[in-house]
Structure 1
Amino acid sequence: MPPPFNHPSLELELLAQTFFVKQFPVDAGVPAAIASGLNAAQHTPGVFSITRTGEEISVVGESVDDDGEWKCIKIAGPMKFGVFTTFVGLTGVICNFTTPLRDANVPVFTVSTWNTDYVLVPKDKADAAVAALTEDGWRFRENTRDT
């Protein structure tokens, strides 16, 4: 499903770095090494997310030394919530975005923020993800596909 409409907030960027995705038992808490990464993230820009539910803790972050197993496609954003979002057709962005990836057999792990969405794909499937999205009508920003 192509983007809901042609707008700069829906342009894509394949981030250069690699990422890790880790899962921990909810009763284990966040490991000290991961928590220190959160403190370090306050001083350096980058993607770092901790999500805790009643069943688990999931952590996503940029890998050190480019040894991560995931690549990240960022939807440019910002995408505003509320009436404006519905009016301009920004509902269903993740569905539209992940449908061509599903059809290309590319697994995804998504992280959403207030402004935008980050979709992680296995590093060895990044080229297939870019090709599937491009074929579907999504646009990548210049200099983001060379990574």
Structure 2
Amino acid sequence: MELKKIPHRLTVCKVKEISDIDMGAEIYFIGKTDEELSLVCITENTPSDTIERDDGWRGFRIQGTLDFSLVGILAKISGILADHKISIFAVSTYNTDYILVKEENFDRALSILGAEGYTII
């Protein structure tokens, strides 16, 4: 299975309103519930007026389109990283899963996953 590195530094934050988000940005993930409006974005695109923010994330995606019948792909990757004390922030889209780790763990996470048979691109 191939894991493709995202070349950007990322920020996870909470914003006040959807209008604060740059919808023209190359990459962003929005999550809205009755309690919050969360955003993952390229650090340079982080809205200036956030409620909370956590910089210093890097990420990779499982390359290709994953069929909904596939089971355990994210669980396996997160389990491998958990065994090495690397926490993750996962985001899923219709096509695939994205895994974010803190920047200081990024190279080590990819090295560990490479040793476990994943191809890093």
TM > 0.5: yes
Q: Which of 67, 75, 92 lines up with 1:80 in the alignment? A: 67
| Residue pair 1:23, 1:57 contacting (<8 A) in 2 also | yes
Aligned counterparts of 2:87 and 2:36: Cα–Cα separation in 1? 20
Distance 2:37 2:77 in 1: 25
Q: Which residue of 2 aligns with 1:19?
A: 10
1:47 offset after TM fit, Å?
Answer: 2.1
1:69 aligns with: 56
| Percent of matched pairs sharing the same residue | 29
**What is the DSSP-based 3-state SS (H/G/I as helix, E as strand, rest coil) of the residue aligned with 1:69?**
strand
- TM-score, scaled relative to structure 1: 0.69
CA RMSD of aligned residues (A): 1.7
Give how far 1:76 is off. Answer: 0.4
Gaps of 5+ in 2: 46-54
Determine if contact 1:104/1:128 at 8 Å carries over to the other structure: no
Query: How many residues are aligned here?
Result: 112
Of the three residues 76, 86, 103, the one matched with 2:83 is 103
Q: CA deviation at 1:23?
A: 2.5
Which structure: larger Rg? 1
Whole-Å separation in 2 of the counterparts to 1:59 and 1:18? 14
Structure with bigger strand share is 2
Amino acid corresponding to residue 15 of structure 1 in structure 2: I
Counterpart of 1:29?
17
Deviations 1:12-71 (A, max 9, x none): 0111111110124xxx433x432xx11x23xxxx32111011222210011229xx5110
In 1: Cα distance, 2:27 partner to 2:43 partner:
10
Q: Which has the higher helix share?
A: 1
Which letter does structure 1 place at the counterpart of 2:34? G
Equivalent residue number for residue 49 of structure 1:
29
Unaligned ranges ≥5, structure 1: 1-9, 142-147
AA partner of residue 56 (structure 2): E
How many angstroms apart in 2 are the aligned matches of 1:77 and 1:22?
27
